[in-house]
Structure 1
């Protein structure tokens, strides 16, 4: 049974049925538009469990940034409730980065596709009910899906994986990152203005994207940052970017020109000094910088390809940044 064919509401209902069939009592189930955990359970042993259900229909793996956001949400919910355990149930596999993220939280358990299939095998009545629903979906969508081949890897991901890091390929990396950002965000972002400058004897280029109105995610960022532009800078370094690289993009952000938001693209996750400098940039000058490495860009492309919102990766990073920010 291919549960990926279910919409998110049907999948959440399926999860609730399977958890209930395992002896858990459903105490609460979320309503659309109401913030909170998707399910609250009481286990057979009497423990209270908060459950978050994630179902990306056209996404194979759950990105690390999304998992980080989910675990933060679960922890916050747990402080408002009398909770013993936290549970993430997903129809998606977890990426390597997502598994590393989950391992940081001892009280969060994950149930994935293998648990769903095993639970369906143990509960044939539930399996028959949802198989009938999927059969109906197949009949409705059959004319639409005829002759469609399995999607191959996006060529932008293939190019990024093949491109070597280092100064010898800095120009190709800049060009590729601009193509990736264009693919991810053109409309609502307008086409970028490419600005040349000299750094380390290289003709470095920045991309300055106007943020147009009409997309709720970018509208929120535009208002919160008081920024009409996104400045993107690209570092094809073999080593993780540090404080100097954050200072480089920081100097091209200028709040009075409504240019307060920047994206630093790099091959590897940035170093701790880079994180500290990003904090200083915001606290001292209200310049907000998001740092995207190869893993982040690939996850964003995959989200875009699967019909999901690539801004989720940026939003998760910003939420984490502001949640731990202090004076």
Structure 2
């Protein structure tokens, strides 16, 4: 969990307490029960899940995955009601459709700002964390009811949960590394990328290459600026396209592979970003070369290993935005960039 997500979760807990909820951490010893808090409001028992998104716009597929998981796990835990608290803003029609479909209560950033306003220091913290402009945020008092006033009981049977991320991660871990499995690896990477970023990329252009068989071709995709990460690449790095490379090496990739990738990044072609998917990451000298490419030519190369891919797959499955993890990788890389 990122530091911002952790701060948001803790702040939501305090806001709920300030609004009459009795809140306790869910799970024992860090065990994942599918939601963050057990809570009581009067005689009602709630299962509450908190989701922090860097992107303020509601992303339907992620919200559906999060809602399905919360409803299913809340029923198993014996909760009466479920609440999904999100940092994004929900259009009224979408909120009504979701609450009708999943029988859980949705609390978005507008509701949170309204609740936090009862304690000024909480409101200041929330505005700071969300980087929100109070003058540009709709007034929640204009809504017909507070979310808890129209809350529904959880149904007897929960909706099916998304398990595709777990299945893809298991398949990745089981796949042998090396030249003999390069074809299976690139096919698996294709399915992983399409699961993680179904609405973020367009084109999926295969570019055949002459190589040693371990990364015979790459993908060149056109960016759709649907989330903060892709907007960052487009508007701040001036990259309209992103290059994906698949490295099925048994060990860490070396300088030579990074040099080859850099040659495919073209400033005048608006292609200045590469995401290199490598089974075991990169050697120190290869990382230094990526730093030099950024420092001297403004070319960003992010290296993502099996563990990070699985982390993003599980994020997507839980209804979290996997591009938030890429944003953190880019942020860490740029903050640590030497002179």
TM-score range, shorter chain: 0.5 to 0.7
Any stretches of 5+ residues in structure 2 without a counterpart?
1-7, 32-36, 47-78, 83-150
From 157, 168, 172, the counterpart of 1:146: 157
1:239 Cα deviation from its structure 2 partner = 0.6
Asked if 2 retains the 8 angstrom alpha-carbon contact of 1:268 and 1:293, the reply is yes
TM-score norm. by structure 2 comes to: 0.58
Deviations 1:267-306 (A, max 9, x none): 1121111110100111121110111111111111111111
- Quote the Cα distance in structure 2 between the aligned partners of 1:211 and 1:287: 16
Is residue 266 of structure 1 aligned with residue 178 of structure 2?
Answer: no
Equivalences for 1:116-135 in 2 at 5 Å? 129=41, 132-134=44-46, 135=79
Distance 1:137 1:194, change over 3 A: same
Asked if 2 retains the 8 angstrom alpha-carbon contact of 1:207 and 1:231, the reply is yes
Distance 1:270 1:151, change over 3 A: same
From 159, 170, 173, the counterpart of 2:185: 173
- Quote the Cα distance in structure 1 between the aligned partners of 2:27 and 2:322: 17
Asked if 2 retains the 8 angstrom alpha-carbon contact of 1:196 and 1:203, the reply is no
Is residue 137 of structure 1 aligned with residue 81 of structure 2?
Answer: yes
Counterpart position of 2:321: 309
Is residue 236 of structure 1 aligned with residue 229 of structure 2?
Answer: no
Deviations 1:207-258 (A, max 9, x none): 0010023433311221111000010011101111121111121110001100
Asked if 2 retains the 8 angstrom alpha-carbon contact of 1:265 and 1:293, the reply is yes
- Quote the Cα distance in structure 1 between the aligned partners of 2:169 and 2:276: 18
- Quote the Cα distance in structure 2 between the aligned partners of 1:142 and 1:316: 35
1:191 Cα deviation from its structure 2 partner = 3.3
Q: How many residues align?
A: 222
TM-score norm. by structure 1 comes to: 0.60
- Quote the Cα distance in structure 1 between the aligned partners of 2:80 and 2:333: 44
Deviations 1:48-103 (A, max 9, x none): xxxxxxxxxxxxxxxxxxxxxxxxxxxxxxxxxxxxxxxxx98689xxxxxxxxxx
Secondary structure in 2 aligned to 1:311? helix
Distance 1:163 1:324, change over 3 A: same
